Chain A
Amino acid sequence: MIGAAILLVVVITLLIGARGVAAMRSTSDFLVASRRISPTLNAAAVSGEYLSAASFLGVAGLVVKDGIGALWYPVGFTAGYVAMLALVAAPMRRTGALTVPDFAEARLGSRRLRTLSAVVVLVIATLYLVPQFKAAGQVLRVVSGTPYWVGVVVAGVAVSVTLALGGMRAATYVQAFQFVLKLLLFVGPAIWLVTAVGPTVRAAALEPVEFTRFAHETPVQFRFATTLTVTEPTTVDDGGAPRKLVPGEYPVEAGTTWTFPTGADVPDVGGSLPPGGDAWTRPLLDTDGGGHPVLSTLSLLMALVLGTMGLPHIIVRFHTSPDGRSARRTAAITVALLSAFYLFPVIYGTLGAVLVPELYLSGDTDTVVVALPQRVDSGFTGVAVTAMLSAGAFAAFLATSLGLLLALSSAVAHDLLPGAGLRRLRLAPLAGAVVIVALALPAVNIDVGVLVTAAFAVAAATFCPLLVLGIWWPRLTAVGAVAGVVVGLLASVGAIGVDLFLGAPEGLAASLLGQPALWTVPLAFAVMVGVSLRGRPPAWAAAATLRLHLDEATT
């Protein structure tokens, strides 16, 4: 049933895509289609493309794992469109540029900057795509019990087939439909959950107590190896005979299931705090346990707010607006649509902390949304709601992945290997999907929300200064832009790489490396301005900037 629901989403998406393309067979329809799209429809399409697995699954998972402070993620995801509306939406549309590499060449006339921007697109798209594939694999594993790698490969095949059949993403209707679908599949189950759990759980969700004892016999499936610290004698069943554990550290092998009896003390697991504790209920985000929640929260928000304007799959959507004015309206309506969606992750997060807190032990918090319904109702309704949520999560994965994969392949085929024919443009997404699948396989223990945030952090430290200064500051030079983008890229990728692969040091450094935007963005701006001031912009730079602010009525 759950598999059928996911398949249904894919088929409906394909059908609408095919209808959209079929309906536009005549040339005039074709040319007019992109001009007639209203800001509201386009905003729904932007939201449909934007609401990824990180929004659908990741935010609720991070609430269970990191606490109420994780709700700043969706605030930042939404606030990014306010920044976009105020700073770049209309002028960016007036350049006629479809991508940041296009913008770089149109505004600064530099081929070098164009190639560099394409590399940045590649980095952002990869960082954004890997967690999408990871989430798809995880959802399929939870709902159908297949191994993780099967889910990832199935996801890769689904995306490749959809792309090969062609044209799907082209239709704005598809993305607008995706938004409505995701909204319904997210809000409906949330309302059902709130009513079905009953008053006791509702009260417990609002006044959580720290998860220190198992409330009932609880099997915990460990997907990857971890170490548990047992603090009082406990009897667990790890598949064989019940085993008595004395206090101490116990390694857990990947793929094992430990069943804890009712009332047993919850062991500690490295790195994260149990849901429901005092730190958990505070509305600030302390990533990596760095101990600087205010700094981490502000740095996260800076990355999300300023990174949104540089996301390659979103910028291309704004091109469907006929002019700068409607691009601006699109951004404003998107703020409202996203706000409606993001009122609901908190429901899954707080209920998950009460009903499935054991997910934090196994590091499976990203699956909280799909794990909840069957915990509440083990009958048909529970299965049906799980099916709805899995379908929605898959829709989220599909919409975002297709957009990103196309942005990525277009950057490769147009900007990095110029002169490539249509054939290579068609092959690029397939090659991209293979690479992303290969990267997603070892990424199983990295949170979806964390990797997506890394993509925002890179965008904020590279494309944000490029776009903002390019639009508002006539003195920006190509050399300055290149210097700023290089510094921003190296600083943010370096910080993220150290944090992910080498493990961050303790304390302040952990916060600054885990959420680097707070220092990388000002650094990139400073380098761009500093280097530009030493050079001279071309004579036409002033007119090139001013043109972007002239409304369509007069141009």
Chain B
Amino acid sequence: MSRKGPKRTTVASPQTRLAMARRSAVRTEPPHLGRADLERARRIRRVQLRAALTALALLTVVVVGLPLLLAALPELDDVRLAGIRVSWLAVAVLPYGALVAIAVVQLRRAERVERNGGEEPR
């Protein structure tokens, strides 16, 4: 019992620990940022916002543009690609490729912004 070692700590299941820790985990006092950090954060936020809006615009092309296109061009129901209607492929397969591509581009861009400290990514 008197053995020297790391301080003893209560062990609980992670769920319980998270639940118990929640009270104290939340920051309640106003956050403080130094002048340099504040400047850097402003730059990052501005560029990140631009990146996020670009990603959202691309997302809109998929989830708004594609339904509108399919509504406007019912002929696509009669065009077949490898025996499958193009309009079916446009809902069942195409969106997923597009979504993964948008996610990859947005992830890369957001990480580059942070690496460059808010300088415009090139």
Which residues does A use to contact B, with CB under 8 Å? 21, 24-28, 30, 33-34, 68-69, 71-72, 75-76, 78-79, 81-83, 85-87, 90, 95-99, 102, 105-106, 109, 166-167, 169-171, 206, 281-284, 293-294, 297-298, 301, 305, 316, 319, 325, 328-329, 331-332, 335-336, 339, 342-343, 346, 406, 410, 413-414, 422, 425, 472, 538-540, 543-547, 549-551, 553-555
Pair A82/B99 contact, Cβ less than 8 Å: yes
Could you tell me the dominant secondary structure of chain B's interface residues? helix
Residues of B within 8 A of A284 (CB): 67, 70-71
Pair B55/A86 contact, Cβ less than 8 Å: yes
Cα separation A169 to B95 with both chains bound (whole Å): 31
Residues of A within 8 A of B31 (CB): 540, 543-544, 547
14 CB < 8 A contacts A-B: A21-B14, A30-B11, A79-B63, A86-B55, A97-B25, A206-B84, A339-B97, A410-B19, A422-B16, A472-B45, A543-B31, A543-B38, A549-B45, A550-B33
Q: In the complex, which of the residues B38, B68, B88 has the most CB atoms of chain A within 10 Å of its own CB atom?
A: B88
Residues of A within 8 A of B93 (CB): 343
Task: Tell me, yes or no, whether B2 is within 8 Å of chain A by CB.
Answer: no
Residues of A within 8 A of B74 (CB): 282
Pair B84/A82 contact, Cβ less than 8 Å: no
Nearest-neighbor residue (CB-CB) of A301 within chain B: B63
Contact A297:B67 (CB < 8 A) given known A342-B96, A549-B44: yes
Pair A472/B49 contact, Cβ less than 8 Å: yes
Which of these, B13, B22, B90, B104, contacts A21 with CB under 8 Å? B13
Pair A547/B41 contact, Cβ less than 8 Å: yes
User: How big is the B interface, by class?
Assistant: 35 or more
The interface bits of chain B over 11-35 (1 if a CB of A lies within 8 angstroms of the residue's CB, else 0) are 1011111111011011110111100
Contact A346:B63 (CB < 8 A) given known A282-B74, A283-B87, A336-B100: no
Pair A293/B71 contact, Cβ less than 8 Å: yes
Residues of A within 8 A of B111 (CB): 325, 328
Nearest-neighbor residue (CB-CB) of A302 within chain B: B63
Pair A550/B40 contact, Cβ less than 8 Å: yes
Contact A82:B59 (CB < 8 A) given known A284-B67, A551-B114: yes
Contact A90:B30 (CB < 8 A) given known A27-B11, A79-B95, A549-B45: no
Pair B26/A343 contact, Cβ less than 8 Å: no
Residues of B within 8 A of A335 (CB): 99-100, 103
The interface bits of chain B over 33-65 (1 if a CB of A lies within 8 angstroms of the residue's CB, else 0) are 100011011101100110110011001001110
Closest chain-A Cβ to B54's Cβ sits at a distance in Å of: 8
Pair B44/A551 contact, Cβ less than 8 Å: yes
Pair A550/B37 contact, Cβ less than 8 Å: yes
Nearest-neighbor residue (CB-CB) of B55 within chain A: A86
Residues of A within 8 A of B64 (CB): 298, 301
Residues of A within 8 A of B11 (CB): 25-27, 30
Pair A544/B30 contact, Cβ less than 8 Å: yes
Pair B52/A325 contact, Cβ less than 8 Å: no
Pair B96/A78 contact, Cβ less than 8 Å: yes
Pair B88/A106 contact, Cβ less than 8 Å: no
Nearest-neighbor residue (CB-CB) of A340 within chain B: B96
Cα separation A82 to B43 with both chains bound (whole Å): 23
Cα separation A336 to B45 with both chains bound (whole Å): 26
Which residues does B use to contact A, with CB under 8 Å? 6, 9, 11, 13-20, 22-23, 25-28, 30-33, 37-38, 40-42, 44-45, 48-49, 51-52, 55-56, 59, 62-64, 67-68, 70-71, 74, 77, 83-85, 87-88, 90-93, 95-97, 99-100, 102-104, 106-107, 110-111, 114
Pair A98/B44 contact, Cβ less than 8 Å: no
Pair B52/A86 contact, Cβ less than 8 Å: yes
Cα separation A72 to B67 with both chains bound (whole Å): 9
Pair B13/A343 contact, Cβ less than 8 Å: no
Cα separation A305 to B61 with both chains bound (whole Å): 13
Residues of B within 8 A of A83 (CB): 56, 59
Which of these, B28, B32, B67, contacts A294 with CB under 8 Å? B67
Pair B32/A82 contact, Cβ less than 8 Å: no
Nearest-neighbor residue (CB-CB) of A339 within chain B: B96
Residues of B within 8 A of A329 (CB): 107
Pair B103/A283 contact, Cβ less than 8 Å: no
Nearest-neighbor residue (CB-CB) of B108 within chain A: A332
Closest chain-B Cβ to A205's Cβ sits at a distance in Å of: 10
Closest chain-B Cβ to A72's Cβ sits at a distance in Å of: 6
Cα separation A410 to B26 with both chains bound (whole Å): 15
Cα separation A79 to B37 with both chains bound (whole Å): 33
Pair A167/B14 contact, Cβ less than 8 Å: yes
Cα separation A406 to B55 with both chains bound (whole Å): 33
Residues of B within 8 A of A325 (CB): 111, 114
Pair B33/A543 contact, Cβ less than 8 Å: yes
Pair B45/A96 contact, Cβ less than 8 Å: no
Cα separation A205 to B18 with both chains bound (whole Å): 49
Cα separation A540 to B31 with both chains bound (whole Å): 7
A319-B18, A414-B23 are known contacts; what are 5 more A-B pairs with Cβ within 8 Å? Answer: A170-B13, A170-B14, A283-B87, A305-B63, A414-B19
Closest chain-A Cβ to B50's Cβ sits at a distance in Å of: 11
